[in-house]
């Protein structure tokens, strides 16, 4: 994301908040944007790959693997 677009997005988000200067104001705004009942929150997530694969095999349901690597944008190793 370009710096100008990021700044515009941040400014827009702060302008919507009732009182962005306080953590309580930010929490209130964030909770008002959150959906109450979302299907993926009911999924029993596993932190161990082997447990997840065993359960997927036992229940006959697919296993979804989510991998997150926290590397800087300018990392040239990849």
CA dist 73 and 3 (Å) reads: 13
Average pLDDT over residues 51-59: 94
pLDDT band at 51 (very low <50, low <70, confident <90, very high): very high
Residue 13: is its pLDDT beyond 60? Answer: no
Any idea what DSSP says for residue 73?
Answer: T
25 versus 5: the higher-pLDDT residue is 25
Domain ranges of the chain: 3-59
Contact 35, 26 (CB under 8 A): no
Any idea what DSSP says for residue 19?
Answer: -
Burial (CB count within 10 angstroms: exposed 0-12, middle 13-18, buried 19+), residue 2: exposed
Out of 3-7, 32-36, 38-42, 64-68, which region has the weakest mean confidence (pLDDT)? 3-7
- Highest-confidence segment of 3-12, 23-32, 46-55: 46-55
- What is the reported pTM? 0.41
């Amino acid at each position: 994301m370009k710096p100008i677009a990021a700044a515009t997005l941040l400014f827009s988000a702060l302008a919507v908040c009732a009182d962005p200067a306080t953590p309580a104001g930010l929490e209130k705004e964030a909770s008002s944007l959150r959906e109450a009942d979302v299907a993926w929150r009911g999924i029993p997530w596993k932190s161990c790959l082997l447990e997840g694969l065993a359960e997927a095999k036992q229940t006959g349901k697919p296993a979804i693997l989510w991998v997150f690597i926290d590397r800087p944008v300018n990392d040239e190793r990849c």
